[in-house]
Amino acid sequence: MSTDTGHSGIVHWRRSVWNGARCEPVLVTLGPGGLHVRDRSLGTVLQADPRAVTGRLTRLGTLVLAVDGRRYAFVGRGASSSPTPSADQQRALENTGCGAPRSGAAGGAVDQLLNGGAAARMRDWHIRLAAAGARFS
């Protein structure tokens, strides 16, 4: 695992390909204690050593992770019908401190215009997880 002090952010867990209401905000934290993903009530969705994580980043910016035989799909922003991050998630994010974005995290003009930079956010997570030992194809 890298010596990075950590990074936190809110992304969306795509629990269903078709139902936007099932695309939920999650608080993702990557630090010395590993990868931790928490739902709107701050319950643990996923907690793992990054070296135990495999996955891929799709062309459209979905970060697909596999841990212990379970698959998780994360995107940089939810659907219009997705719930917003909870107050608890926002407070926890403020308390953990959001890491500084890597250079180029803003993404290209098309990503910014059509997707609010969501694909760039997921590329940033892809880079950070790979640096921490996750294996991507």
Average the pLDDT over 39-57 and give the result: 97
Confidence of residue 18 (pLDDT cuts 50, 70, 90): confident
Smallest Cα–Cα separation from 95: which of 24, 27, 1, 4?
27
Q: What is the pTM of this model?
A: 0.85
Whether residue 84 is predicted with pLDDT greater than 80 in this model: the reply is: yes
Confidence of residue 58 (pLDDT cuts 50, 70, 90): very high
Average the pLDDT over 69-90 and give the result: 93
pLDDT attached to residue 19: 79
Spatial neighbors of 52 by CB under 8 A, at least 6 apart, are 67, 68
CATH class of the region 7-136? mainly beta
pLDDT attached to residue 115: 55
pLDDT attached to residue 116: 55
Average pLDDT of the residues of the chain: 85
- Reduced 3-state DSSP string for the chain: CCCCCCEEEEEEEECCCCCHHHEEEEEEEEECCEEEEECCCCCEEEEECHHHCEEEECCCCCEEEEECCEEEEEECCCCCCCCCCCHHHHHHHHHHCCCCCCCCCCCCHHHHHHHCCHHHHHHHHHHHHHHCCCEEC
Distance CA 115, CA 88 (A): 25
pLDDT attached to residue 81: 86
pLDDT, tens digit, 9 for 90 and up, residues 104-122: 445 566 555 455 578 889 9
